[in-house]
Chains A and B, each alone.
Chain A
Amino acid sequence: MQEVLFYIFALLAIAGALSVILQKKTMYAAISLVITFMAVSIIYFLLGAQFIGLLQLIIYAGAIMVLFLIVILLLDPFSEIFLRNQSLAWVGLAVLLGAGLFGILYTAFGQAPVEIVAPPVPPGELTGHTQSLADVLFKQYLLPFEVISILILVAILGAVILAKKRIS
């Protein structure tokens, strides 16, 4: 059951990704990405990372994509993305690079020294729940947690300053 669901949502994610790069209008590309994020979120749930899955929905699909959409709407929502003005050589090269990288990753993954199949999760175990995550986060990774909150603060400040209108 899990596997079937995984394959369905995996295909959905891939379709969404392809759609992002193949769409002509910016808005549609953004919305495709949202779909991809949602699919990935489901996959997270399937993998037993429930908290992360929720976070994916909240932060990524919720906050980040909304931000993107606001900016798109602010600037130029339906502008054409000029795909056809590319030189064919460049397109070919880019596709080649991507395919090459994928091929290498494929080979690399074939050499992964871990078992193919992971042991199933014992039923009583709480894994991926908020509590277990918080356990690790606030004990082992406390310092990075604090640092990252400062990072967010700096980012907010930076964004505000950069986007401010210059008063001439």
Chain B
Amino acid sequence: MAIPLHHLLILGGLLFCIGLVGVLLKRNLIVMFLCIELMLNAANLTFIAFARQLSQMDGQVIVFFVMVLAAAEAAVGLALVIALYRTRQTMDADDLNLMKL
């Protein structure tokens, strides 16, 4: 019994959209990051699904790279959040509006 590709893709899409809504709606920076990770995961899932479908290993290699990237990004991002919190004592994304014209 094989898992239908269609369902895998729908799962990936659903996770992606949930993460998207979370990024748009949440004001806490850390939670926004969590949602971004969620989106990345959804993409990974899609890659694996297609890798199995086409019987190629390339999909899995790409997922490997994406994971590494996610790790690096999480590290830098969180460092930024810490630096921000140290200077502004806030983690609210709406307070970061110094770039408005």
Q: Which residues in B have their C-beta under 8 angstroms from that of A106?
A: 10, 13
When distances are taken between beta carbons in the complex, the residues of chain B under 8 Å from A158 are 75-76, 79
Binary contact readout B41-79 vs A (1 if CB under 8 angstroms, 0 otherwise): 100110011011111011011011101111111111011
Assembled-state Cα–Cα distance A152/B68 (Å): 8
Separation of A154 and B13 alpha carbons in the complex (Å)? 32
Q: Are A60's CB and B20's CB within 8 A?
A: no
Report the Cα distance A31→B27, complex, angstroms.
Answer: 18
Is A102 within 8 A of B13, CB to CB? yes
Interface residues on A, range: 35 or more
Q: Is A155 an interface residue (CB 8 A)?
A: yes
> CA of A129 to CA of B63 in the docked complex: distance in angstroms?
14
| B contact residues, total (Cβ < 8 Å) | 70
Evaluate contact between B67 and A91: CB separation under 8 angstroms. no
Check if B73 sits within 8 Å of A155, measured CB to CB: yes
- Is the pair A14, B11 in contact by a Cβ cutoff of 8 Å? yes
Asked if A8 is at the interface (CB within 8 A of a chain B CB), the reply is no
Q: Chain B residues with Cβ under 8 A from A161's Cβ?
A: 79
Instruction: Check if A14 sits within 8 Å of B30, measured CB to CB.
Output: no
Interface hits, A27-64 → B, CB 8 Å: 29-30, 33, 36-37, 40, 43-44, 46-49, 51-52, 55-56, 59-60, 63-64
Cβ–Cβ contact A47 & B52, under 8 A: yes
Q: A21 contacts B26, CB within 8 Å? A: yes
Q: Report if A40-B41 is in contact (Cβ < 8 Å); known contacts: A97-B24, A102-B13.
A: yes
Q: Mark B1-14, 1 if CB is under 8 A from A, else 0.
A: 11111111111011
Chain A residue contacts of B9, Cβ below 8 A: 105, 109, 112
User: Which A66-83 residues have a C-beta within 8 angstroms of B?
Assistant: 67-68, 71-72, 74-76, 79, 81-83
In the complex, the 6 A-B pairs of residues with the closest C-beta atoms, listed nearest first: A155-B72, A21-B22, A162-B79, A94-B24, A98-B21, A159-B79
Residues of B that sit less than 8 Å from A by CB: 1-11, 13-22, 24-28, 30-31, 33-35, 37-38, 41, 44-45, 48-49, 51-55, 57-58, 60-61, 63-65, 67-76, 78-83, 85-86, 91-92
